[in-house]
């Protein structure tokens, strides 16, 4: 993986890399009663997991191997605006 600064489009994000799991998408589907397009969250990584719920919340302060690279998961991101707009 190679991370580069985004220069052409200005976005405000809490972290340089955002992670979303399929478990979170399934949990949101249950809460909202409809499937949610993962592109709404503008995540850099969509991780397919078997677990249910917001499993990526448990990854804070842990290391995640992505391909040949290891990333430190820093903070839990808030996406409240995305959730409000999704409902």
Task: Return phi, psi of residue 72, to 5°.
Answer: -90, 125
The reply to whether 13 falls in a domain is no
The reply to whether 7 falls in a domain is no
The reply to whether 28 falls in a domain is yes
> 44 is in which domain, residue-wise?
19-86
Q: How confident is the model at residue 4, as a pLDDT?
A: 60
The reply to whether 4 falls in a domain is no
- State how many domains the chain has: 1
Query: For 3-46, what is each residue's pLDDT tens digit?
Result: 566 566 555 556 677 889 999 999 999 999 998 888 888 888 89
Query: For 63-80, what is each residue's pLDDT tens digit?
Result: 988 888 888 888 877 654
The reply to whether 65 falls in a domain is yes
The reply to whether 55 falls in a domain is yes
Task: Return phi, psi of residue 78, to 5°.
Answer: -105, 135
The reply to whether 63 falls in a domain is yes
pTM value is 0.70
Q: How confident is the model at residue 40, as a pLDDT?
A: 83
Q: How confident is the model at residue 2, as a pLDDT?
A: 56
């Amino acid at each position: 993986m190679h991370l580069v600064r985004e220069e052409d489009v200005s976005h405000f994000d809490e972290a340089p890399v955002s992670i979303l799991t399929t478990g979170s998408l399934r949990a949101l589907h249950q809460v909202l009663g409809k499937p949610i397009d993962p592109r709404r969250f503008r995540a850099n990584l969509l991780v397919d997991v078997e677990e249910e719920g917001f499993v990526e919340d448990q990854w804070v302060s842990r290391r995640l191997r992505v391909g040949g690279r290891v990333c430190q998961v820093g903070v839990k991101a808030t996406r409240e605006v995305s959730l409000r707009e999704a409902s």
